[in-house]
Amino acid sequence: MSKLYEGFTIEQLKERKIEIEKKFEGFKNKKFTLDMSRGKPSVEQLDLSNGIYTQTLQSGFISEDGIDSRSYGVIDGLPEMKRIFSQILEVSEQEVILGDSSSLNMMYDTISRAFNHGVINSKPWRELDTVKFLCPSPGYDRHFAICEHFGIEMITVPMDDNGPDMDMVERLVLEDECIKGIWCTPVYSNPTGIIYSDEVVKRLAYMRTKADDFTIFWDNAYVVHHLYEEKKIINILDECKAAGNPNRVYIFASTSKISFPGAGVAALACSIDNANYTKKLLSAQTIGPNKINHLIHARYFKNIDGIKEHMKKQAEILRPKFEMVTHMLEKNLGYLNIAKWNNPKGGYFISLDVPEGCAKQVVAKAQEAGVKLTGAGATYPYGKDPEDKNIRIAPTFPPIDELKLAIEVLCTCVELVVLDKLL
């Protein structure tokens, strides 16, 4: 950032602080309450998918292959829904395993299987003294929570506009056999909105690693969540195959932010060998996923084109919210040199950076004024932002008038904390 409040005199800053304090007290007196701590779809977004339940079961419960979706079996999911995910993720249907509503659950289970049984052709991680993961940050707090739960040591890797710092990644994985994986959100990364470059994807696929069982956990949560034109990256599974590392990657996705977060369909994509290995282990865990849900989703969306048309409607709801937030940040903070933020082209979040040492105080002040944000530090391993500067904004859920007020509150809190720090 440039010099904070560049061009302001000390007297002007003192006067401004008095104004901002009055503004903050005014917000507190309004008794405003809004929870923006998670990236939840709005009611309007959810309503777009109501036809899944009202339209699709008129044709009965039997799939196109004659499978009765009400009964047991088909451990990897109904073929027609696998076909849609194969189109979304650009893999073969044989490389897709469907689950229930949560891709996070599938990530957790994949880590759990690695601990109990190892990834394919490797020793179980529970038999090792230390397991480490690389965690590009700012990143997704629930990835980090899984690592903490399993006692995995996390190593923070900085991000740039192309993805994780690959020089650091390549150096670390080449020298440390305990590093068993990396978390990646490659398209509209949470929370920065970064899209991995082709070079980054290739380097991840081709890089030499000391651990034979090093695995990429590729959380493609926002692969079709475009606010404007479609953004695509090269296929990580294809690159891993070309590099001679076909079993290196597990890809995750879901319809959680396409249809219903509590009743969607999750998917795991991987090599055929990994898929067969996973299905063998799954057979002890489940008789099969919710195939009725697979069936009604497949009938409703039909194919990738149906998904894309649906997501255009979602974008029409979300785009004004994202544009309003970035406009308000520019209007209130842009000329003061006290913050910077991304202008995402898709995904679910806006990443705001305030001066070092200020994020926790800003979030606390916002909550005092009635706006609950994601905890400062949550976007880093162990909840510790080393510079205490990153704040995740989740604009999707609130109505736009409430969102506008919430961003006014946030901007006021940023100024209040920074002025306190300066004076």
Confidence of residue 311 (pLDDT cuts 50, 70, 90): very high
Q: What's the whole-number average pLDDT of the chain?
A: 96
343: which DSSP letter? -
Do residues 366 and 373 touch, judged by C-beta distance below 8 A? yes
Which pLDDT does position 54 carry in this prediction?
A: 83
CA distance 310 to 45: 10
Classify 10-46+308-422 by CATH class.
Answer: alpha beta
Type of residue found at 133: F
Is residue 256 within 8 Å of residue 46, measured between CB atoms? no
The structure tokens listed for 354 are: 């305030």
Does residue 60 come out as left (phi exceeding 0), alpha (psi in the -120 to 50 range) or beta? left
363-382 core/surface letters (b: 16 or more CB in 10 A; e: else): bebbbebbbebbbbbbbbbe
For residue range 266-280, list pLDDT tens digits in order.
Answer: 999 999 999 999 999
Q: Please say whether the structural domain 64-302 has been given the CATH code 3.40.50.970.
A: no
Query: For 387, how many CA atoms within 13 A lie in the half-sphere containing its CB?
Result: 11
pLDDT of 366-377, one tens digit each? 999 999 999 999
Q: How far apart are CA 325 and CA 97, in angstroms?
A: 37
Looking at residue 28, its pLDDT comes to: 92
Sheet holding 266-269, edge to edge: 96-98, 266-269, 249-254, 215-219, 179-184, 132-137, 153-160, 163-164
> What contacts 330, CB < 8 A, 6 or more positions away?
none
Q: Radius of gyration (Cα) for the chain, nearest Å?
A: 23
Q: Check: CB of residue 74 under 8 Å from CB of residue 67.
A: yes
Question: What pLDDT shows up at residue 281?
Answer: 96
Q: What is the mean pLDDT of residues 221-225?
A: 97
Beta bridge partners of 158: 137
Number of other CB atoms surrounding residue 199 within 10 Å: 12
Closest C-alpha among 143, 208, 146, 115 to residue 157: 143
Percent of the chain whose predicted confidence (pLDDT) is above 90: 94
pLDDT above 90 (res 347): yes
In the chain, domain spans: 10-46+308-422, 64-302
Q: In what order do the strands lie in the sheet with 350-353?
A: 340-341, 350-353, 390-393
Q: Which residues, other chains included, contact 73 with Cβ-Cβ below 8 Å and sequence gap of 6+?
A: 67, 287, 288
Q: Give the containing element (helix H, strand E) for 353.
A: strand 350-353
Tokens found for residue 100: 């229930």
Q: How confident is the model at residue 2 (pLDDT cuts 50, 70, 90)?
A: low
Q: Contact 346/314 with Cβ under 8 angstroms?
A: no
Q: From CA 298, how far away is CA 300, in angstroms rounded?
A: 5
The mean per-residue pLDDT over the stretch 116-136 comes to 97
pLDDT digits (tens, 9 = 90+) for 224-239: 999 999 999 999 999 9
Q: Do domains 10-46+308-422 and 64-302 have the same CATH topology?
A: no
Residue 253's DSSP bridge partners are 267
Contact 353, 192 (CB under 8 A): no
Instruction: With cut-offs at 50, 70 and 90, classify the pLDDT of residue 59.
Output: confident
Q: Residue 36: what are its φ and ψ, rounded to 5°? A: -115, 30
> 84, 140, 155: which is closest to 107 by C-alpha?
140
Please give the distance of CA 141 from its chain centroid, rounded to a whole number. 9
pLDDT band for position 184 (50/70/90)?
very high
User: What band does 56 get if pLDDT is binned at 50, 70 and 90?
Assistant: confident
Q: Residue 92 above 80 pLDDT?
A: yes
